[in-house]
Amino acid sequence: MHTQQTIASNLYSIGAERLALLGKHHKILMQGYLEGFIDETALSDSALKKLMAARIVWRPSEQQPLMLRPLVSELIASMVSDENRRQVNADVAERLVQIRNRVQAYREAQHKGDYSVAELQLQRLTEQVHDLSGQFEEAIDSLWNRLNSDFGFVRSLNDKIRENERAQQQLRRLLDGLALLDFNELIELAEGNNHLRKLLVSQLQTQLSDHHGSLLEVQKRLIELLAKFRQQQSRSLLINNMVAYLRQHPAYSPADYPNRTPVPVLFNQAAPIKLQAAAALDRASDRQILAALVQQLPHQPKTLITEHQSANFSEVLVNEEIAAHQQALKQDVENFYLEVIDNSESVSALTYLKTQNLPWDGEIWLYQILADYQSLPRDEQKMFSLRNEETPASASNQLMLISDIHIRLRVF
């Protein structure tokens, strides 16, 4: 116990001394962060030695000037939200190894009855678990800051697209890191201990669920921005190409396409508007003109009436033919169901269609079989057992397409 107090006292004194060094030389260190190197002339020899001994500054080689340590630069970048230099450590595997070792040390101390050491190990374990969750939280904040800063201030669309890809790569790394957390393993580590179960399972699962939700929102935002950037890029490319063409052909002038008889397909997208007019019977001043126009109208010949009637008769014949076609299809489907009733085994709809040489399309045939089955009462539907042969539409589309139907009579 006395040894642990001595170690803690030494750590306290060393940490306080080095934090005081950061505060004492804060202006020079911040200037070195912005410029990339430390001005040695602004520091005394003793101050330089103390800063190097405290692992705050270092010299990569003899030919290079003094620079801030990477961890110190990362600390400053995190505090000032400098996303250009901020690097998020996503080594989740190393954190999990530390948590497993800390749990083992905690259990060994409990087994020996050294409860003060066990309490210290539990405190360290709590810090490591919170550090693991805070690590993801810092990374998500970094992504949001990148969305709100880097995309708005880069010079070109290509730079924005590259920043988007960089953010998506970091997002994928974070999702891979979250996937490393196996809660079944964490439950086994807890082994019924209430403190460990609350720390490693309950709290961590709630925090990681929040992180998953935040990453989902970031991913949606990235996809929206990428689509917007691609659209802007295509428009910018069209304008730049048009500008380049006008530079090569200074005398170019657009043609009057609407007044040309053969309009190019690119401009002739809309259907022509048919002008319509009607007689204004409410205008008394035009009655004489309308009466003269009516008198000049030719009489409708009988042949037109005959053609109109024949057209109606043809339409009736077409409707009767469609009705007869549908009735024949329904009759064949009924015969198929009778075949199912007479057969004790499952009957394939497409096999029956081919063996009977029926003239129906396979898709229409399957649709009509399902429609007749759905039109049956509930009690009669229970008499049949349907099994669909389904295949996905494509590798990227999980829509299931019915390729065949097997129907058999249930045996009660």
pTM of the model: 0.43
For the chain, the domain total comes to 3
* Same-domain status, 139 and 56: no
User: Please, which residues have CB within 8 angstroms of residue 218's CB and are 6 or more apart in sequence?
Assistant: 140, 143, 144, 147, 167, 171
* Same-domain status, 32 and 139: no
Check residue 37 and report its DSSP letter: S
40: in domain:
yes
What is the residue range of 385's domain?
312-409
What contacts 24+ positions apart, CB below 8 Å, involve 84-88? 84/150, 86/142, 88/135, 88/138, 88/139, 88/142, 88/170
* Same-domain status, 100 and 240: yes
* Same-domain status, 24 and 72: yes
Query: Helix, strand or coil for residue 283?
Result: coil
Cβ atoms of 389 and 379 within 8 Å: the answer is: no
* Residue where one domain finishes, among candidates 70, 87, 104: 87
Q: List the 384-392 sheet strands across, edge first.
A: 347-348, 400-409, 384-392
Residues in the chain: 412
Residue 37 φ then ψ, to 5°: -150, 160
264: in domain:
no
**Digits of tens for pLDDT over the chain (412 positions)?**
555 566 667 778 888 887 888 888 888 888 887 877 788 888 888 888 888 888 788 776 676 678 777 677 777 777 776 555 555 444 677 778 888 888 888 888 888 888 888 888 888 888 878 877 777 877 787 778 777 766 655 667 777 778 778 888 888 888 888 888 888 888 888 877 888 888 888 888 888 888 888 888 888 888 888 888 888 888 888 888 889 988 998 888 877 766 767 776 776 677 777 877 777 777 777 778 888 888 888 776 554 445 555 555 556 555 677 777 788 888 888 888 888 888 878 888 888 888 888 888 888 888 888 888 888 888 888 888 888 888 877 777 777 788 888 888 877 6
* Residue where one domain finishes, among candidates 66, 87, 108: 87
